[in-house]
């Protein structure tokens, strides 16, 4: 049988990785897929540069439109990233009856519902394993491996850049900026790191995971997003002394009132496996009512790890491209006609436990005032320690861990605490998750 014909859009890191993996492992891939997979056409901005990399025997064009309209291609792989022109090209490919493989989380987080609708109408597949957690087959695990479960929550370290920075901050006691500079020097962070360190990239991926886990449409805007830019090394150290590591967690949870979706720095008990995921690695915990807690760990980015996911999608599409669409796995795990819209909770309505650090005057009664305000707002204290002031110092740090409390109550309480004359600076507040 002739190899299935693939058009590739984009020849950056992941595009080159995909080309290399398909070439190097073509024999293993053919033995698995039952058919060869061949990139027959590549669309890029810089044709000369692409030709130098690709060599002879593959058609290269800078007219990206020509790739998605080429009737000789069965599948289009979109590895350009970003919204436009990726969005228009993907939609055009779908309308031209082509299957699509993409690793574009930003696109799916914002336009996924529309894209999947179009794909369903046309009877084509849009596969996107590479969009979340790089080489870890988390989409497959969640969408097909845990279908017997009611998913209760998903919590992941799904931005390697942030995790690398947090690891360096903890191991070397560095401030954020210094750790970021290391990440940039080593190629783990972009020159403009905002997407990674401000939590947006993690939120894109989380929005996809939440839809698949809970059978709801993708709704990126519902995510509460905080990054790691304002995190201090001192809080990482205090957390460690209390038996926690600070991770940028992406969390989505089904509770009685609706769905939570939030990305923020989080204290995680040090003995949890996920607390020990270091450097640029990713890990996703999934809690299902039948299976309990499972975890999926591996490289969350990079040329060949992401290519591994892209090629797995290509194999799936190759197997299923002539199949009855009803036999295929639904894009968002649940049949399109059985997606339900559940309410998304505002962050004020979520429940979490908390870490607070307060800079206070070293005088009697401060703690009593703080404890009273917390109690008045239904916030109970789990643990507390006070860093004694140094010689001649008149300020002390109070570190508090709370039991579970409503975020709105916490906001109210901290507002009052910050008005106490003995509280000398804004209260540092981090959330804490047991992940049990």
Binding residues vs a copy of itself (CB under 8 A) = 17, 21-22, 24-25, 28-34, 129, 135-137, 140-141, 144-150, 215, 273, 276-277, 288-299, 304-305, 307-312, 314-316, 319-320, 322-324, 326-330, 333-335, 338
CB of 358 to a copy of itself, least distance (A): 34
| Beta carbon of residue 213, minimum distance to a copy of itself (angstroms, whole number) | 11
Do residues 248 and 205 lie in contact, with contact meaning Cβ atoms separated by under 8 Å? no
Minimal CA–CA distance to 336: which of 209, 212, 152? 212
Q: Is 275 left (phi over 0), alpha (psi -120 to 50) or beta?
A: alpha
- CB pairs under 8 A, 24+ apart, for 64-68? 64/9, 64/89, 65/89, 65/92, 66/41, 67/7, 67/8, 67/9, 67/41, 67/42, 67/43, 68/7, 68/9, 68/92, 68/93, 68/96, 68/98
Strands of 198-347, DSSP E:
224-225, 244-255, 258-269, 281-288, 292-299
DSSP state of 345: P
Closest distance of CB 429 from a copy of itself, Å? 29
> Least distance from C-beta 47 to a copy of itself, angstroms?
26
432 labelled catalytic: no
Torsion of CA 350, 353, 355, 356, to 10 degrees: 60
| Residue given tokens 């290391």 in the structure block | 182
Q: How far apart are CA 218 and CA 229, in angstroms?
A: 27
Least distance in Å: CB of 138 to a copy of itself?
9
CB of 171 to a copy of itself, least distance (A): 12
Nearer to a copy of itself, 137 or 193 (CB): 137
Task: Report residue 389: phi and psi, to 5°.
Answer: -65, 150
Which residue, 198 or 316, is less far from a copy of itself as judged by CB?
Answer: 316
Helix (H) or strand (E) holding 152: strand 151-157
Catalytic site residue from 105, 140, 205, 432: 205
Interatomic CA distance for residues 232 and 181, integer angstroms: 15
Residue 278 CB coordination number (10 Å): 16
User: What's the Cα-to-Cα distance from 355 to each of 150, 261, 267, 428, rounded to whole Å?
Assistant: 30, 20, 8, 8
Nearer Cβ to a copy of itself (101/414): 101
Q: Which is nearer to a copy of itself, 290 or 341 (CB)?
A: 290
Residue 11 or residue 430: which is nearer to a copy of itself going by CB?
11
Residue 101 or residue 396: which is nearer to a copy of itself going by CB? 101
Active-site amino acid positions: 205
């Amino acid at each position: 049988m002739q190899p299935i014909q693939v058009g590739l859009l984009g020849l950056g890191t992941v595009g080159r990785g995909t080309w290399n993996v398909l070439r190097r492992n073509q024999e293993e891939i053919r033995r698995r897929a039952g058919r060869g997979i061949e990139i027959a056409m590549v669309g890029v901005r810089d044709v000369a540069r692409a030709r130098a990399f690709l060599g002879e025997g593959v058609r290269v064009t800078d007219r990206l439109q020509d790739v998605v309209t080429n009737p000789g291609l069965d599948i289009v792989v979109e590895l350009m990233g970003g919204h436009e022109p990726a969005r228009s090209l993907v939609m055009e490919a779908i309308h031209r009856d082509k299957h699509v493989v993409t690793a574009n989380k930003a696109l799916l987080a914002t336009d996924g519902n529309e894209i999947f609708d179009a794909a369903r109408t046309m009877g084509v597949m849009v596969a996107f394993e590479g969009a979340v957690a790089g080489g870890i087959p988390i989409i497959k695990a969640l969408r097909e491996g845990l279908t017997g479960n009611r998913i209760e929550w998903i919590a992941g370290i799904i931005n390697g850049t942030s995790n690398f920075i947090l690891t360096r901050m903890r191991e070397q006691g560095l401030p954020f900026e210094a750790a970021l500079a290391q990440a940039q020097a080593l190629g783990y962070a972009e020159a403009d790191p905002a997407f990674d360190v401000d939590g947006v990239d993690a939120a894109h991926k989380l929005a996809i995971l939440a839809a698949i886990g809970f059978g709801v449409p993708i709704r990126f805007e519902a995510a509460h997003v905080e990054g790691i830019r304002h995190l201090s090394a001192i809080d990482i150290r205090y957390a460690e002394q209390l038996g926690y590591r600070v991770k940028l967690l992406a969390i989505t949870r089904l509770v009685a009132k609706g769905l939570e979706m939030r990305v923020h720095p989080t204290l995680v008990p040090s003995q949890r496996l996920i607390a020990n995921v270091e450097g640029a690695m990713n890990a996703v915990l999934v809690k299902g009512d039948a299976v309990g807690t499972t975890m999926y760990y591996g490289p969350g980015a990079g040329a060949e790890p992401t290519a591994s996911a892209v090629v797995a999608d290509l194999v799936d599409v190759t197997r299923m491209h002539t199949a009855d669409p009803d036999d295929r796995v639904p894009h968002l795990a649940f049949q399109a006609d059985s997606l339900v819209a559940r309410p998304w909770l505002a962050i004020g309505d979520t429940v979490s436990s908390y870490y607070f650090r307060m800079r206070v005057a070293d005088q009697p009664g401060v703690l009593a005032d703080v404890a009273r305000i917390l109690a008045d707002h239904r916030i109970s204290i789990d643990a507390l320690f006070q860093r004694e002031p140094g010689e001649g110092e008149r300020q002390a740090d109070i570190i508090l861990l709370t039991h579970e409390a409503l975020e709105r109550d916490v906001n109210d309480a901290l507002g009052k605490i910050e008005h106490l004359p003995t509280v000398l600076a804004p209260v540092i507040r981090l959330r804490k998750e047991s992940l049990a």
